Structure 1
Amino acid sequence: MSLLDRGPETVVIYPAGPVLPDGTRGAEGAPVAVRCRVQPVTSTEQPEPGYLDTTVYRVIARTLPAGPWARVTWRGRTWTVVGEPAHRRGSARTRHDTATIRRR
């Protein structure tokens, strides 16, 4: 067991549905709970009242069944996967997936 297998956080990933012939997306896939590590990447806070802060996090896990447009729930909030997750394929002990999430 490594830190990749027993991360302190749990995220629920709802894979994006397939692209339909008319260009829209089909229904989301079944939710998958994943143990992972979540690290902050950036945080931009606006000084003016009424603006929302934009926070981006990195999710690191052994495997992530996520892709672009996937929906993620973590700590009671909904997040979107930004771009394609990176699949790092090293040895059996070090291979892992990394995805960047942004709050919806």
Structure 2
Amino acid sequence: MEDETWDFWDSVGLTCAGYGSENDVDLINVFIESATDGRWFGDIAKKLGLQESYVALLKEILCSADFCEYGTSPRGAWAIHDKYDDNLKKLKDWYLEKWNQEFAPAP
């Protein structure tokens, strides 16, 4: 039996996702930006040059994976601070394993 490494997309049941590194880069950058208090979907979208609905979708996926918490008032999603460092390391290690290169966050 082959030793399978953890894959973010597989872990949330999206087995057809992640065939290009661009979505993985966006996912990790949105996660990093989610740790900054006061950053809404539109703020993150503007900073990263992405569509707001795409950022909202990525944050909803991150919430479904328990990487972020979903708030209903105010509505949004934020990284779980006590898990942030471990989750970021997990995402960066996954990216390195999958794409054979270090993750470089957005400026």
Q: Using structure 2 for the length normalisation, give the TM-score.
A: 0.28
Looking at CA atoms only, which structure, 1 or 2, has the larger radius of gyration? 1
Q: Using structure 1 for the length normalisation, give the TM-score.
A: 0.28
Greater fraction of residues in strand: 1
Greater fraction of residues in helix: 2
